[in-house]
Structure 1
Amino acid sequence: MATGTADVTETSDPPRRPDPPAAPRPSGRVALGAVAGLAATLLVVLATRLFSARPLGVTDNGDGYRLYCGAGLRPDTLDGVASWQGGWVWSYALGPPTCADPVPSSALVIARATTLVTSGTWSPAVLGWTYAVLVGLVVGLGAWAAAAAGRRRALAVAVPVLPLAAATFPRFFVSTYSEPAALLGTVAAAVGVAAVLVTRREHRSARVVALVLTAGGGLLATTAKVAYVPVLVAAVLVCAVTAVGVRRARRAGPALAALTVLLAAVPVTAALERQQEAYESVNAHDLVFTTVLVELGPPAAAELGLPPEAVALTGNGFYNGPPRPEGQAWWEDAIVRRPGETRNAALALLAGHPAAAARAVGVGLQATTRADLPYLDALPASPSRLATPSGDPGWSGARQPDLAQVLDDPGRPAWLPSVLVLVALAAAATARWQGRARRWSLAAGLAAGTALALVVVAVAGDGYFEVFKHVWLAAYLLVLAALALVGAVGTAVLGRWRVRRGE
């Protein structure tokens, strides 16, 4: 997700090979880390305008309640709800939890922690400041670790931070969604990978810190929202193949990978069970009607055991679409009583048609071009306004052809994200022959591969319903992949120029 060259653990070592002496550390690493951390915090603060009276945040689309109810937050609005207020709600009253089973998320842990340092009322702006400081802490640690290989190489950790300069991503820090914790975790993992790639195996303490950032970031992202499990997989993979020193010390990476998997097992399993319990029917409906029937056409209904009248619902999501056919025997049987079977059959049918599956993933990748999510207002809501009933049907992906119109609106080439993924993966596959540019190519491939996996999980999990928000984190990773590819090209050109000059 950033730059550098990792040492993969070898299969064997010469007998009784001693550890090499520790590499000399550049002086001033603590000061460099402190400056880098402060700069990152300031970048987030400026991007979200936290110094102003009207910071940038994200309107609650109804998902926020599942988290803030567990933190004992009650929206200070006329109707007592936070969703669709024409902006994000500035003020919440503090009290006991208002729901018995809030969504299990690391974002809830962070939100609860911020309520402990406030009294009377609470604002998402407090969360914004908290996440800004946490980003600074992560970047500071990463810069300290990367600086073990030299001060210039410490600049590698700036790459994962650069996308935060635009409000597209950090404005989620000022919200009660699970996404902000996932973004923080992904940034931490990316910073950790950057430090891993620029250091060498003899930089033992630096690499251990970098690996802890990588593993911890993947764990934080996945426990924020289980759909982000590809970030954890990427983090574990990096830890598993990274060497630290030689002989016994080199096992630190694989050991940390195994520990991370063990720590993630219980919360991830619990989150999956909660998802199935609460949303299995919703997800089954969305997958069948917003994606499978859209891509495969009317014949797919019969293959799924649905009657001909089911075709009329093609493109309609469970929420924000036309009324559901509740009470009709075929829908109740397929979606309410047997959602798991229906969903599995839909996925199998889609997998049996590779072209349709590729189109579905392509739609998810194209949706990353709209990561700005303008349908979720960025400014604070008016305290005198009542909530509107629902969101925009095109942006929610709940109705066709509204979704197609939104996809085509930005004027960006629809094929661009797909080509970016292919180029990044090809660059990573050929990295061993790229000289100094290989570190950039490996980073690009890791970021693009993780983004692709996030898109696949999003589409397979809930179809096209609200696909723009579901692939928002993938958009951040694609930006990292693009930056890494630019770095690879720049490094290759600079290297060739130096060869011609005889340097």
Structure 2
Amino acid sequence: MSVDELSPAALEVTSRRGRLFGLGVFAATLTVLLVRFLVPRPVGLSDNGDGFRVLCGAGIPWKGKPEQFARLEYTVPAGECDATYLLSQSWFARIARSLGGLLGLESTLSLVVLGVLMSVLAAAAVALIVVGLPYSRRVRGFAAVGLLLVVGDSAFFGYFASVLGEGAAFLGILLALGGLLVAARPGWWRYAGLAVLLFGGIVAVNAKVQTLMILPLLALAVLLVRPAGVRGLKRWLPLVFVIGALAGGTAYAQQTVEPAKLPDGSLAARPGDDSREINVFNTIFLTIVDGRHDAVADLAALGLPASFAQYAGNGWWHQKPATMDPEYPKYREQISRHNVVGYVATHPLRTLEILNGAAGDLLTARPPYLGSFDQSAGFAPEAREFRVPIASTSTNLLAPLGFFALLPIWALIAWRGWKTRRDAVGVALGFLLAVAAGQFALAALGDGLENVKHQVIALYCTLLAVVPALVTFAHQERSESLTSPTSNVP
């Protein structure tokens, strides 16, 4: 019997059972995440030097520098700051500041409070995803376990209690995924799902400059979800509103930050413009002109002088970068994304080599320099926790294979997405795969520095998609057994 054939009373019973099931999943998930976060001691992630943006956005002036230990609290120093561009993690940091004040905490920002807040929202998102899956409760229970193994994995969980932007990206994607699946259900569930999707989408899109590309992908996913029994204006008007709110909310949020100053003294026109030259410079001199290939030929293809070969492998912050060369101002216009795209388009074999290396970075999962503990915990500098290591350890073992390991995983997700393309699960798999591939390409070809860290969103989306992709097998087997001529099930 389809949803359309159920009586109003049956629909109400089904809806009530769904709510109770969702609340049960939320309570269990939250308990697991809080224990994982706080026992035997809280864990977070140390600042790689970029944390000043999140802190400044939360009203805490801070001079960014790499730290070997995670901080669990921040106080407000004297002075002012410039966030340069928005990161939605700042919103949660502000809320954590307010909650800490209500609790009487002396610190201005407690990352323990922030971690608990993020855990509550992550548990709600997992519950929504599980409720939104159109499968039996047993299958959805397996999905809940799989989602917890990804969300709680040591490669991702520490970002929640940190001043880095990836935590908000993880949470926003999780919420958007839950909203997308629930929005395919009838009645008030649909509108609740769209509301969660809107909130999660704005958080995810504004998590970092590189996550702005999520906006069109999420908009397309919203349009592709087909709620049962909803047609005409009743179907399309809410979707148009959500897409418009996503775009408008993102535009408004990005305009609330004062434009940053560029190295030449002008003001940035777009988010991230203040670091755009740095990122392209690192892509050219760390990824392309890396000292392991024909530097002179690569420089010629980029329109740069052969004399710059002496700077091969020297990034922006190296003791001897190309920026110190007297000829650099003459060729500064060549340090552009357009130039890099031209090189990539005309050097396919080299591009494949670069992407294969980036695939290895993606599967590596965890950079070695981001510590998990504060200094009072007594661990060595940059010590990392391995409380939930299953997913990241598995991918780390596959990292030397690069594309030979990553492409089969993506192929599995694409196949299961195609097989379930007529329901919300297929749309969700397509969305996650598109975000993973987009984030992978941006990090691989857009910034030659910290590629393991910059690939973590792509890895997160990949592993998140593996869970529903595997769940579809269990559902397919169950469906085939129920429709088999020899089945004893009525």
| TM-score category (smaller protein) | 0.7 to 0.9
**What per-residue deviation string (whole Å, max 9, x for no partner) do you get for residues 4-37 of structure 1?**
x9x9xxxxxxxxxx99976713234433332222
Q: Which runs of 5+ in 1 are unaligned?
A: 8-17, 76-80, 389-406
- 1:99: which partner in 2? 81
- 2:163: which partner in 1? 176
Q: 8 Å contact 1:172–1:180 — kept in the other structure?
A: yes
- 1:328: which partner in 2? 325
Classify the secondary structure of the residue corresponding to 2:48. coil
**What per-residue deviation string (whole Å, max 9, x for no partner) do you get for residues 309-338 of structure 1?**
22233333223x442133313323334xx3
Classify the secondary structure of the residue corresponding to 2:55. helix
Classify the secondary structure of the residue corresponding to 2:401. coil
Aligned equivalents of 2:118, 2:147: Cα separation in 1: 15
Compared CA separation, residues 312 and 420, structure 1 to 2 (3 A): farther
- 2:458: which partner in 1? 474
Residue identity opposite 1:247 in structure 2: G
Q: Which runs of 5+ in 2 are unaligned?
A: 260-267, 383-394
- 1:292: which partner in 2? 288
> Structure 1 residue 250: deviation in Å?
0.8
Calculate the aligned-residue CA RMSD, in Å.
3.7
Q: Report the TM-score, using the length of structure 1 for normalisation.
A: 0.78
> Structure 1 residue 411: deviation in Å?
5.9
Q: How does 1:353-372 map to 2 (within 5 A)?
A: 353-372=347-366
Compared CA separation, residues 141 and 411, structure 1 to 2 (3 A): closer
Q: 8 Å contact 1:44–1:170 — kept in the other structure?
A: no
Aligned equivalents of 1:243, 1:102: Cα separation in 2: 40
Residue identity opposite 1:309 in structure 2: S
Compared CA separation, residues 475 and 364, structure 1 to 2 (3 A): same
Q: 8 Å contact 2:432–2:461 — kept in the other structure?
A: yes
Residue identity opposite 2:309 in structure 1: V
Once structures 1 and 2 are overlaid, which stretch shifts more, 271-280 or 419-428?
271-280
Is the counterpart of residue 59 in structure 1 residue 46 in structure 2?
Answer: yes
**What per-residue deviation string (whole Å, max 9, x for no partner) do you get for residues 281-312 of structure 1?**
20121121122334974212012221112223
- 1:398: which partner in 2? none
Q: How does 1:334-353 map to 2 (within 5 A)?
A: 334-335=331-332, 338=333, 342-353=336-347
Classify the secondary structure of the residue corresponding to 2:314. coil
Aligned equivalents of 1:88, 1:36: Cα separation in 2: 31
> Structure 1 residue 72: deviation in Å?
4.2
Q: 8 Å contact 2:283–2:446 — kept in the other structure?
A: yes
Aligned equivalents of 1:439, 1:113: Cα separation in 2: 32
Is the counterpart of residue 204 in structure 1 residue 187 in structure 2?
Answer: yes
- 2:241: which partner in 1? 255
- 1:452: which partner in 2? 437
Aligned equivalents of 2:45, 2:460: Cα separation in 1: 16
Q: How does 1:400-479 map to 2 (within 5 A)?
A: 413-414=401-402, 415-431=404-420, 442-462=427-447, 464-479=448-463
- 1:400: which partner in 2? none
Classify the secondary structure of the residue corresponding to 2:124. helix
- 1:373: which partner in 2? 367
Aligned equivalents of 1:409, 1:263: Cα separation in 2: 41
Aligned equivalents of 1:289, 1:275: Cα separation in 2: 23
> Structure 1 residue 454: deviation in Å?
0.8
Q: 8 Å contact 2:362–2:455 — kept in the other structure?
A: yes
Q: 8 Å contact 1:192–1:214 — kept in the other structure?
A: yes
Residue identity opposite 2:222 in structure 1: C
- 1:404: which partner in 2? none
Aligned equivalents of 1:381, 1:241: Cα separation in 2: 48
- 1:136: which partner in 2? 123
Aligned equivalents of 2:397, 2:464: Cα separation in 1: 24
Classify the secondary structure of the residue corresponding to 2:206. helix
Q: Report the TM-score, using the length of structure 2 for normalisation.
A: 0.79
Compared CA separation, residues 384 and 30, structure 1 to 2 (3 A): closer
> Structure 1 residue 496: deviation in Å?
4.1
Aligned equivalents of 1:430, 1:30: Cα separation in 2: 28
Residue identity opposite 2:417 in structure 1: A
Q: 8 Å contact 1:222–1:268 — kept in the other structure?
A: no
Compared CA separation, residues 248 and 156, structure 1 to 2 (3 A): farther
Classify the secondary structure of the residue corresponding to 2:75. strand
Compared CA separation, residues 491 and 29, structure 1 to 2 (3 A): closer
Is the counterpart of residue 34 in structure 1 residue 16 in structure 2?
Answer: no
Residue identity opposite 1:30 in structure 2: R
Aligned equivalents of 2:135, 2:412: Cα separation in 1: 29
Q: 8 Å contact 2:311–2:320 — kept in the other structure?
A: no
Q: 8 Å contact 1:40–1:136 — kept in the other structure?
A: yes
Q: 8 Å contact 2:281–2:316 — kept in the other structure?
A: yes
- 1:483: which partner in 2? 467
Aligned residues: 450
Q: 8 Å contact 1:239–1:254 — kept in the other structure?
A: no
Q: 8 Å contact 1:183–1:473 — kept in the other structure?
A: yes
Aligned equivalents of 1:383, 1:152: Cα separation in 2: 40
Classify the secondary structure of the residue corresponding to 1:105. coil
Aligned equivalents of 1:188, 1:96: Cα separation in 2: 36
Q: 8 Å contact 1:82–1:88 — kept in the other structure?
A: no
> Structure 1 residue 41: deviation in Å?
2.1
> Structure 1 residue 357: deviation in Å?
2.8
Classify the secondary structure of the residue corresponding to 1:379. coil
Aligned equivalents of 2:420, 2:279: Cα separation in 1: 39
Residue identity opposite 1:372 in structure 2: R
> Structure 1 residue 132: deviation in Å?
1.0
**What per-residue deviation string (whole Å, max 9, x for no partner) do you get for residues 244-288 of structure 1?**
422321112233223322222343577984544411220121121
Aligned equivalents of 2:314, 2:169: Cα separation in 1: 29
**What per-residue deviation string (whole Å, max 9, x for no partner) do you get for residues 375-418 of structure 1?**
21111125999999xxxxxxxxxxxxxxxxxx998665322112
Is the counterpart of residue 265 in structure 1 residue 254 in structure 2?
Answer: no
